[in-house]
Amino acid sequence: MRKTIRLPRCITSVLTVALLAGLATHPGCSGERDPSTLFGPAERETVVVDAVLYVDHMLPEIFVTRTRTADAASTGDATAVNDAEVTVIQGLAEYRYASAGRRGLYVPPHGAPRVRPNTEYRLLVRALGREVRGVTRTPAPLEIDEIAVLEEPSMEIIRRLDPSSSVGNRVPYREGLIEVRFDPLDVEAYQVIVLEPGSDDGGSPPLEARDGRLLLPWFAIGSSGAHKVEVYALDRNLFDFLRSVEASGQNAFGFGSLAGDTFERPVFNLDGGIGVFGSASLDTFGFFVIPKN
């Protein structure tokens, strides 16, 4: 049975205005630095694309915005582009998006198919008198095989959780370590998001998991209640983007070893614009934390 998965708005949380504004004040970058030094003259008024495809899910909504200048973007002055032409291409099939008329939001055509694994997709955006192009190859499907609770320091299995249902997954707070296990995919890195009811989306930096194992630290988990864990396998575009905006070079989330190097300037992998056109596959599981007595 296919699990119901709530797709996040976007696993890249530093796009559009926040993308440019944060560069001037992000840890590891000087707060005194002129944002215009991070981008060339052609990028001081440009198209920003926010598009992430998820394997086995419908084609996503896409956002197209404009930053007038690097200085304007740093003060939050970014403008939606509602008259763009947005097309996603897979093989000979072209899916022309329609503008929702607000916020630069574009929606896929009715009847568009689900995103296929191990498949190349291309993006074409015509806006502001120019073209933005991107290419992504989707990862293989990610499927969590096992969730083990390990005893410290022996790392022996105390119990196993059910990947397909959270009903019986009850874990005493800070008892052992929770390890997610899956068949490793041919991707550069993974991302983990731990959610509590009412919490905002937020996730780890890109993480290496060459053996298909990821440990969840307790400081990223609440002391009681229901939790949902989302594990993403990232395509090259998302990997490059996420690792390059992790400007401090520190793994603040502590989920594992940080994958890749860091850069002052984000890696966009787009021609003619900035932002991201990438893809990911994902799986989720849930558990309930029992508080200490």
Number of domains forming the structure of the chain: 2
> Is residue 272 assigned to a domain?
no
Q: Are residues 178 and 286 in the same domain?
A: yes
130-158: average pLDDT: 96
Q: Are residues 130 and 100 in the same domain?
A: yes
Q: Are residues 200 and 71 in the same domain?
A: no
Q: Are residues 201 and 285 in the same domain?
A: yes
pLDDT digits (tens, 9 = 90+) for 148-189: 999 988 999 999 999 999 999 999 999 999 999 999 999 989
Domain boundary at 93, 109, 137, which? 137
Q: Are residues 133 and 168 in the same domain?
A: no
Q: Are residues 149 and 131 in the same domain?
A: no
Task: Provide the pLDDT confidence category of residue 44 given band limits of 50, 70 and 90.
Answer: low
Provide the whole-model pTM: 0.80
Exposure string over 44-81, b if 16+ CB within 10 A, otherwise e: bebbbbbbbbbbeeebbbbbbbbbebbebbbeeebbbb
Task: Assign residue 181 the CATH number of its domain.
Answer: 2.60.40
CA distance 56 to 195: 22
> Is residue 37 assigned to a domain?
no
Domain boundary at 137, 168, 190, which? 137
> Is residue 248 assigned to a domain?
yes
Instruction: Give the domain range for residue 115.
Output: 47-137
